[in-house]
Amino acid sequence: MRKFKPTVLTIITALLFSLLAGCSSSTKTPTTAQATGGAHTEKAEKIASLSIHLTNDLLALGITPVGSVIGGKAKDFLAHVADRLHNTKKLGVAADPDMEALLALKPDMILVDEEFAGQDLDKYNKIAPTHMFSLDEGTWRDHLRALGQMLNREQQAESFIQEYEAQAERVKSLIKEKTGATTAMAIRVSAKELRVQGMKRPLGPLLFEDLELQPANGVEKIQKAYEVISQEVLADYDPDLIFVIVNVEEDAKKVFEQLQVNPLWLGLRAVKENHVYVINEQPWLDYSALGSKMALDEAEKLFAK
């Protein structure tokens, strides 16, 4: 019996390495066939989008994709664009797209988001030419322009952006007139936690660049999508204007109701002056051309005289 010991130990060690080696080979070549757009123009008829945000960029250009992934939380197309995607095939969630459904569509072009699809680029390229976007690089305007160039819709892209900038100017002055606010912050209430939205997408660029609101004291340090905070520190931010996103779940609504009678909350300047605006998860958190535009549409109504 004694001599088995080293043998079994050796086998276990060898296997551990084989497991590692086997796995590592799976990801050895993160192919960088990244399309930054512009280099070539294609006339693609059937486009499949593996990012809900790129889908909405396409819609902004007047193109309906033949297939698109669905929102991971909603388990469906995002509510604010669902009526435009009646004829679009659902391809599962971005983190785990339905490859067979994608193949069955026989698309001419596939659009993917680097965050989710970066490692599987080879698989997509086998189905159709695939263009990868990094949504963290540049703004949605860059993504929209790149798409416009790729799909011969440069004109639509430019006019969409121009209209957007004009609308942003209008909303900016509406906010000024109605509230006189200069500093702002956005918080998101879920059953689990309270978040302050930071400077990065989805909400930062819209509030602090497009609408030129000043980030409330401390928000400028959050150089990411959001940070989780405790209710006690809300007072440290003390902005003129607060946007509140309450998650759709019932529990989140209860948490917000409790927050609203909390003395901490009632002591905030924005609350006292009645400058709290409740906004919806969608379109506000949909960082895309169409999502941003629809957020401005809602803002125009919120701050109307």
Q: Which residues bind other proteins (CB under 8 A)?
A: 1, 4-5, 8, 11-12, 15-16, 18-20, 22-27, 70, 72-73, 75, 90-92, 95-96, 98-101, 103-104, 119, 123, 126-127, 192
Tokens coding 30: 């993160």
Q: Which is nearer to other proteins, 5 or 305 (CB)?
A: 5
Residue 249 CB, shortest distance to other proteins, in Å, is 12
Q: Which is nearer to other proteins, 98 or 297 (CB)?
A: 98
Q: What are phi and psi of 111, to 5 degrees?
A: -110, 130
The three-point CA angle 187-190-192 to 5° equals 120
Q: Which is nearer to other proteins, 26 or 274 (CB)?
A: 26
Alpha helix ranges (H) inside the chain:
4-25, 52-60, 99-105, 114-117, 121-127, 140-150, 154-179, 204, 234-237, 250-260, 263-266, 269-272, 281-284, 289-302
User: Residue with structure tokens 């930054």?
Assistant: 36
Residue 27 CB, shortest distance to other proteins, in Å, is 4
Residue 104 CB, shortest distance to other proteins, in Å, is 5
Residue 179 CB, shortest distance to other proteins, in Å, is 31
Contact 300, 171 (CB under 8 A): yes
Residue 299 CB, shortest distance to other proteins, in Å, is 25
Residue 43 CB, shortest distance to other proteins, in Å, is 23
Tokens coding 177: 């007139």
Q: Which is nearer to other proteins, 98 or 142 (CB)?
A: 98
**What's the rounded Cα separation, in Å, for the pair 215 and 186?**
9
**What's the rounded Cα separation, in Å, for the pair 127 and 112?**
13
Query: Strand 89-93 and strand 96-97: pairing?
Result: antiparallel
Residue 290 CB, shortest distance to other proteins, in Å, is 22
Q: Which is nearer to other proteins, 126 or 221 (CB)?
A: 126
**What's the rounded Cα separation, in Å, for the pair 117 and 94?**
8
DSSP class of residue 39 equals S
Q: Which is nearer to other proteins, 102 or 268 (CB)?
A: 102
Q: Which is nearer to other proteins, 178 or 253 (CB)?
A: 253
